Amino acid sequence: MQRLTEKQIEVLQMIHDFTADHSYPPTIQELAEQLGVRSKNAVVKHIDALRKKGHIVKDSSTARGIRIVNKFYLQPDEEVQESNEIPLIGRVAAGMPILAVENIEKHITVPNHMIKRNAVYYALRVQGESMIDAGIHNQDIVIVEKNN
């Protein structure tokens, strides 16, 4: 494994922390703002180095396509998050509104910090490509809060 520079570790930690706080990864612009740099090129170079060194993958088809795959350099989380089991109840078409096909396939473990207390949730598997611009791909699983 290739060693990371201090700045690369800082960028990796920022990606991790932002994703933990917002439940989605940062954009290049958001990383540049956090780093206090005007040029997005500097951030792109760090992202490219992290990708080449095997610490992240980058989906170039979306602005929020950064995903950490190697957490070796990250600071450990201060506390272990408790989690809840949310039923994966079927699939929903991306695009044309149709009823979700409901039958519990399995349960998805979701950390408590990602959901509201006293709310009811379920998970659906997305079918189709019409939500790709929002970072939701075919076969992704979305968590939905049940409401009346």
Report whether pLDDT(110) > 50.
yes
Last residue of a domain, one of 15, 41, 68: 68
CA dihedral 58, 12, 41, 62 (to 10 degrees): 30
47 closest CA partner among 62, 36, 31: 31
Q: For residues 18 and 104, which has the higher predicted lDDT (pLDDT)?
A: 18
Statement to judge: residues 89 and 136 lie in one domain: yes
How many domains does one find in the chain?
2
- The first and second tokens of residue 21, run together, are 């706080």
Q: Which of the residue ranges 42-56, 88-102, 115-129 has the most confident prediction, judged by mean pLDDT? A: 42-56
Average pLDDT, the chain: 82
86, amino acid identity: I
Rg (CA), the chain: 18
pLDDT, mean of residues 80-84: 60
Answer yes or no: is 137 within a domain: yes
Statement to judge: residues 49 and 93 lie in one domain: no
In whole angstroms, what is the distance from residue 98 CA to residue 87 CA? 19
Last residue of a domain, one of 21, 45, 68: 68
In whole angstroms, what is the distance from residue 112 CA to residue 16 CA? 17
Statement to judge: residues 17 and 59 lie in one domain: yes
Q: For residues 44 and 146, which has the higher predicted lDDT (pLDDT)?
A: 44
Statement to judge: residues 57 and 104 lie in one domain: no
